[in-house]
Amino acid sequence: MAANDLTIVILAAGKGTRLKSDVAKVLHRAGGRPLVEHVVRACLPLAKNILVVVGHQAEDVRNAVAPLGASTVLQRPQSGTGHAMFIARAAIDANARLAIVLPGDAPLTRTETLQALLDAHRSGRAAATILTAHLDNPAGYGRIVRKPDGSVAAIVEDKSASAAEREIREVNSSIYCFSLEKLWPCLAELRPDNAHRELYLTDTIAMLNKRGERVLAVEAADARETFGCNTRAELAEIDRAFRARKAAALMDAGVTIYLPETVLIDPDVEIAHDTIIEPGVQLLGATRIGSRCTIQAGSILANATLADNVLVRQHSVITSSVLGSGAIVGPFAHLREGSELRPGARVGNFVEVKKSVLGEGVKAMHLTYLGDATVGRDTNIGAGTITCNYDGVKKNPTRIGERVFVGSDSALVAPITVGDGAYIAAGSTVTEDIPADALAIARGRQINKPGWAAARRAKSSESKSAAAKTSEPHRNSAKKLVERARRKSSPRAQKSSRH
């Protein structure tokens, strides 16, 4: 439950030099969201007031966090984490007594972990409590210097650590809980006497000690939760951790995922139990999948809604479309935005559907384009059918009724309406509306010329034997060709060919 005396401060003004990017660090995406959005979401259940310190690409960072209800304060120039907190002070609610401070680049932190930090801080009556982790390779992180009683004496930054301090494997996550009335006087005393000429928030820990205040440390249950993202390699690692978390949660909820390390599922995706996800699948955005569906290998679904018992065969791409129960799609099908397959409809190999509604039991199994079309129930769309929906200026609708049979390789030039129960002969180019139950044939009439092919063959073999008599034998001409090729590929010839 959100506490009233608590405020959250997220430090997100830094550039992130080590990412070598034009995009501010906290806006890089992992696990389907910008880094800073993960941090804000983890804090939402804890406090009403969430303040984000912005600087680099301030406007873009503000746009990323404002929809979640966080407010922002501008830090310019960015003179260190201590300076960021100093700037935040002016924007912090006067009622706040405690602040959880987090970096905008540590997105794996969970609400439960922050709650545990807060509880430890309150029950330990500390001035500051630090979330720490033990790392095999602590290089680059600030080290936690503990006192004999287990409380914290200081945080020593990597660059200013002694050889002995560098051996310490317990590191500062940059996630803290501060009692604000204790912090403010220390902030005012910070000096930029370090390699970066910055004000370090970490220096306040030794200052609190000097004032006789208690500083505690809580170790994160899972060290990965404290991972900061400073390089592209770390970004990939963090993305992997998020994807694994999402896959694990879905499997817990009764979804089968084969080779879960190969699938990519965004955080908002919902999947009901007994659905099967095969290797290499991507489920993106607000995709929702019902029960007993199978999404076969290599398929990509973005903002798709699937009812129960839907089968998506290999390598299909489905965007912003709705599939009714029992629908079957693919392999190699492309459902573009605004498509709807009613229950039991089937779309097969190399079929593209855009902004079209296919009624119950409709079949379009091979090599077809349906754009801006409505197709009535139980209609069969033959192989190679194309709706010619674009006239070079605007898109035009195609209306096909129920139980229609569209013969293979038909072109339907829109706007056009085909009545219920009509037949279209294969190979037709339909330019006029077809009444219900009619047969439309719109193609050149076939003419058979008896014996024509045999006569042609006879004629061509006569002229061939005449030619053989007059020209030199094939064997000789082949010999000549081989000799010419050999001359060309000789080293001397190659040299001269360069000129």
Binding positions for Mg ion, rule: CB under 5 A: 228
Closest to ligand UD1 by CB, 200 or 242: 200
80 binds, among Mg ion, ligand UD1, none (CB under 5 to 8 A by kind): ligand UD1
Which of 211, 223, 214 is CA-nearest to residue 147?
A: 214
- Contacting residues for 26 by C-beta, under 8 A, at least 6 apart: 12, 16, 34, 35, 36, 39, 61, 64, 104, 105
Closest to ligand UD1 by CB, 79 or 389: 79
**What is d(CA 374, CA 399) in angstroms, rounded to the nearest whole number?**
5
Closest to ligand UD1 by CB, 80 or 298: 80
**Quick one: 388 exposed, middle or buried, by C-beta within 10 A (0-12, 13-18, 19+)?**
middle
**What is d(CA 38, CA 29) in angstroms, rounded to the nearest whole number?**
10
14 binds, among ligand UD1, Mg ion, none (CB under 5 to 8 A by kind): ligand UD1
**What is d(CA 318, CA 221) in angstroms, rounded to the nearest whole number?**
39
Provide, rounded to whole angstroms, the least separation between the CB of residue 84 and ligand UD1. Answer: 4
Provide, rounded to whole angstroms, the least separation between the CB of residue 294 and ligand UD1. Answer: 42
Which of 345, 414, 422, 348 is CA-nearest to residue 378?
A: 345
155 binds, among ligand UD1, Mg ion, none (CB under 5 to 8 A by kind): ligand UD1
**What is d(CA 7, CA 27) in angstroms, rounded to the nearest whole number?**
23
**What is d(CA 314, CA 333) in angstroms, rounded to the nearest whole number?**
9
419 binds, among Mg ion, ligand UD1, none (CB under 5 to 8 A by kind): none
Provide, rounded to whole angstroms, the least separation between the CB of residue 167 and Mg ion. Answer: 21
List residues binding ligand UD1 (CB under 6 A): 11-14, 53, 55, 75, 78-81, 83-84, 103-105, 141-142, 155, 157, 171-174, 200-202, 228, 230
**What is d(CA 8, CA 228) in angstroms, rounded to the nearest whole number?**
18
How do strand 340-341 and strand 429-430 relate by DSSP bridges? unpaired
Q: How many CB atoms lie within 10 A of CB 464?
A: 9
Which of 87, 131, 89, 96 is CA-nearest to residue 113?
A: 131
Closest to Mg ion by CB, 19 or 145: 19
Q: Which amino acid is at 291?
A: S
Q: How many CB atoms lie within 10 A of CB 195?
A: 9
56 is catalytic: no
**What is d(CA 61, CA 220) in angstroms, rounded to the nearest whole number?**
27
Of the residues 38, 56, 334, 366, only one is catalytic, namely 366
Provide, rounded to whole angstroms, the least separation between the CB of residue 192 and ligand UD1. Answer: 11
**What is d(CA 303, CA 291) in angstroms, rounded to the nearest whole number?**
17
Cβ pair 287, 269 in contact under 8 A: yes
Provide, rounded to whole angstroms, the least separation between the CB of residue 202 and Mg ion. Answer: 12
Q: How many CB atoms lie within 10 A of CB 456?
A: 10
Provide, rounded to whole angstroms, the least separation between the CB of residue 88 and ligand UD1. Answer: 9
Closest to ligand UD1 by CB, 157 or 213: 157
Provide, rounded to whole angstroms, the least separation between the CB of residue 103 and ligand UD1. Answer: 4
Closest to ligand UD1 by CB, 178 or 200: 200
Closest to ligand UD1 by CB, 201 or 347: 201
Q: Which amino acid is at 390?
A: Y
Provide, rounded to whole angstroms, the least separation between the CB of residue 76 and ligand UD1. Answer: 9
* Residue 33 DSSP code: E
Residue nearest to ligand UD1 (CB): 142
260 binds, among ligand UD1, Mg ion, none (CB under 5 to 8 A by kind): none
344 binds, among ligand UD1, Mg ion, none (CB under 5 to 8 A by kind): none
Q: Look at the block and give the residue holding tokens 């065969």.
A: 313
**What is d(CA 495, CA 127) in angstroms, rounded to the nearest whole number?**
82
Q: Look at the block and give the residue holding tokens 């500062």.
A: 172
Q: How many CB atoms lie within 10 A of CB 330?
A: 25
**What is d(CA 395, CA 27) in angstroms, rounded to the nearest whole number?**
37
Closest to ligand UD1 by CB, 166 or 487: 166
264 binds, among Mg ion, ligand UD1, none (CB under 5 to 8 A by kind): none
Q: Look at the block and give the residue holding tokens 């287990």.
A: 150
275 binds, among Mg ion, ligand UD1, none (CB under 5 to 8 A by kind): none
User: Could you give the residue numbers annotated as active site?
Assistant: 366
